[in-house]
Homo-oligomer: A and B are copies of this chain.
Amino acid sequence: MQLELRVDRSSPVPLYFQLSQQLEAAIEHGTLTPGSLLGNEIELASRLGLSRPTVRQAIQSLVDKGLLVRRRGVGTQVVHSQVKRPLELSSLYDDLEAAGQHPATKVLVNTVVPASPEIAAALGVPEGGDVHRVERLRLAHGEPMAYLCNHLPPGLLDLDTAQLEATGLYRLLRTAGITLHSARQSIGARAATAAEAERLTEDEGAPLLTMRRTTFDDTGRAVEFGDHTYRPSRYSFEFQLLVRP
Contact = CB atoms under 8 A, between A and B. Distances in A.
A220 B69 contact: yes
A86 B191 contact: no
Contacts of A241: 87-89, 182-183, 185, 239
A239 B185 contact: yes
Interface string A59-73: 000001110010000
Interface in A196-245: 205-209, 214, 216, 218-222, 232, 235-245
Identical chains in the assembly: 2
Contact of A242 (B182, B188, B214): B182
Contact of A34 (B184, B220, B222, B235): B220
Interface residues on A, range: 35 or more
A220 B186 contact: no
Contacts of A89: 241-243
A102 interface: no
A153 to B, nearest CB: 14
* Nearest 3 A/B pairs, CB to CB: A79-B220, A81-B220, A207-B207
